[in-house]
Structure 1
Amino acid sequence: MRVGAHVRRDEDPVGAGTELGADLVQLFLTDPQKWDTPGAHPRRDEILASPIDVVVHSPYVINVASLNNRLRMPSRKAVAEHATAAADIGAFGLVVHGGHVRDGEDVSAGIDNWRKLFQRQEDKGGFAVPILVENTAGGDFAMARHLDTIARLWDAVGDYGAGFCLDTCHAWAGGEDLAGLVDRVLAVTGRIDLVHLNNSRDEFDSARDRHANLAEGTIAPEVLAEIARAADAPIVLETPADGMADDIAYLRSGS
């Protein structure tokens, strides 16, 4: 099991990962709440030389599914820019949230916007790294909250090589039973490329995305450990920093 962490020290991800004893790290390349264009990472050479693998998380402001041109168009551009910057530091993928349309809008149109993202980029030679679509916690008009909608999304983007990132807190908060979840996801997507293994501070189907350390949330930690084993994919913890080393140790203990 390859276990890693989202590091808050984006300026020194390898140093942060080394301190945690992580096999891989996830980082942002820009402020996740802004539309900044990523530049060359100041520690690019160190990252490329490190045995610690890297995955990049795209900014939260991106919403590829949106029917609003003023949001969708910069979102498409940002995904391509962040994928290129991720490739420059040797990242194995770019995580992008599934996004949503507004209440009352047609979810099918949002799914079609995802298809267009891949279709149009394919004409330009494709993305520089795999795009890993992440399931989300809330919203009745979300592209990736419920498995039935994810199945529809995958019908639209699966043939373009889209990858999937499974977030356990998001699934729990989104109302998906965690028992047997890996098999149900694989039946829909055929793949799990990354797991965000997070406990939740909130109850099942709360639609609230608040992470907790593995032993401290409302999900039984042994359920999370079983998902990590069953998924057979790299693990990234996005849990509170103070308990992250304990979370890594718990997973490696075979519990």
Structure 2
Amino acid sequence: MRIGAHVDSADPLAEAAARGADAVQFFLSDPQGWKAPTARADAAALTTSDVAIYIHAPYVLNVATTNNRIRIPSRKLMVSHARAAAAVGAAGLIVHGGHVNKGDDLAVGFDNWRKTFAYAADNGGLDTPILIENTAGGDNACARRLDALARLWDAIGDHEVGFCLDTCHAHAGGEELLGLVDRVKAITGRIDLVHANNSKDPFDSGRDRHDNLAAGVIDPEVLAAVIAAAGAPAIVETPGGVDGQATDIAYLRGKLGG
């Protein structure tokens, strides 16, 4: 099992080596901005590396929203990031499930996801698999609760789309971790990546604050069991820089092997 970390984008391979990671995740542009990614000087090194590469889309991206000023540029941004992710050999582009505005019909958000894949197909396709990530908060979210995730998959499951399970988000979003993998796979048929994070906040708090695996409110043994059951590569998005993440990676290796 590949185990790695979310790292700074300046030199991801050096960051991986520093942590003893065999997978890395990073941003290709400002996570809070709308600029399309540019070509990277280290693209060849990333593509040929033994380290598995994952790219996280900017946080501002929300293809589900009914707000045209956000939804339309979000579609374009997702396509541009998918193509740029392919240029660095990424195994997937992680995109948050998004949400609609208060008072809007959540069904519109699911249909907007469907339209996003149609838009991508009409504009040359997606060169990197899209991995939709569950989110922690919001009553209007498309991928916080599993009942919403099921409706989302009804809308887009026929497309080439995968799933990224974030353990902190699931806990904070109100989904019990025990048995979660089976419940998710019953909906999506797959888990392609795990964001292995503990939580600083209580169950169903709706708060997205990650903690190191042995430091948060979730039993680390439960986290390890969920990650083992998922059978997918794991990325820690935990605090503490090199030392904190290296400790988390070593913990998972000790529990899971790989």
Q: TM-score range by the shorter chain?
A: over 0.9
Q: What one-letter code is carried by the residue in structure 1 that aligns with 2:83?
A: T
Matches of 2:227 and 2:134 in 1, distance apart? 16
SS in 1 for 2:158: helix
Q: Post-superposition shift, 1:252?
A: 0.8
Counterpart check, 1:11 vs 2:10: yes
Partner of 1:72: 71
Q: Post-superposition shift, 1:39?
A: 0.5
Task: Please show how residues 46-57 of structure 1 align to structure 2 within 5 Å.
Answer: 46-57=45-56
Partner of 1:196: 195
Contact 1:28 1:56 in 2 (8 A): yes
Partner of 2:2: 2
Contact 2:238 2:244 in 1 (8 A): yes
Partner of 2:57: 58
Which whole-Å deviations, capped at 9, do the CAs of 1:66-117 have from their partners, x for residues lacking one? Answer: 1011000000000000000000000011000001011110000010000001
Q: Post-superposition shift, 1:125?
A: 3.9
Which whole-Å deviations, capped at 9, do the CAs of 1:139-191 have from their partners, x for residues lacking one? Answer: 00000000000000001111001110000000000000001000000001101
Q: Post-superposition shift, 1:49?
A: 2.3
Q: Post-superposition shift, 1:42?
A: 2.4
Q: Post-superposition shift, 1:243?
A: 1.2
Task: Please show how residues 17-96 of structure 1 align to structure 2 within 5 Å.
Answer: 17-96=16-95
Partner of 2:174: 175
Matches of 1:156 and 1:95 in 2, distance apart? 18
Matches of 2:26 and 2:231 in 1, distance apart? 21
Partner of 2:110: 111
Percent of pairs with identical residues: 60
SS in 1 for 2:55: strand
Which whole-Å deviations, capped at 9, do the CAs of 1:15-43 have from their partners, x for residues lacking one? Answer: 10011111110000001000011001121
Counterpart check, 1:222 vs 2:196: no
- Unmatched tracts of structure 1, length 5 or more: none
**TM-score, length-scaled by structure 1:** 0.98
Partner of 1:252: 253
Matches of 1:156 and 1:126 in 2, distance apart? 18
Matches of 2:148 and 2:255 in 1, distance apart? 33
Contact 1:174 1:207 in 2 (8 A): yes
Matches of 1:10 and 1:125 in 2, distance apart? 27
SS in 2 for 1:159: coil
Q: What one-letter code is carried by the residue in structure 2 that aligns with 1:6?
A: H
Q: Post-superposition shift, 1:61?
A: 0.4
Matches of 1:176 and 1:45 in 2, distance apart? 40
Q: Post-superposition shift, 1:254?
A: 1.9
Matches of 2:204 and 2:41 in 1, distance apart? 41
Contact 2:75 2:119 in 1 (8 A): no
Counterpart check, 1:239 vs 2:238: yes
Q: What one-letter code is carried by the residue in structure 2 that aligns with 1:243?
A: G
- Unmatched tracts of structure 2, length 5 or more: none
Q: Post-superposition shift, 1:218?
A: 0.4
Output the aligned Cα RMSD. Answer: 0.9
Which segment is superposed worse, 45-54 or 165-174? Answer: 45-54
SS in 1 for 2:79: helix
SS in 2 for 1:118: helix
Contact 1:99 1:144 in 2 (8 A): yes
Contact 1:133 1:163 in 2 (8 A): yes
Counterpart check, 1:184 vs 2:183: yes
Partner of 2:145: 146
Matches of 1:124 and 1:105 in 2, distance apart? 28
Matches of 2:133 and 2:189 in 1, distance apart? 14
Which whole-Å deviations, capped at 9, do the CAs of 1:182-236 have from their partners, x for residues lacking one? Answer: 0000001101000001000000000000000000000000000001110000100
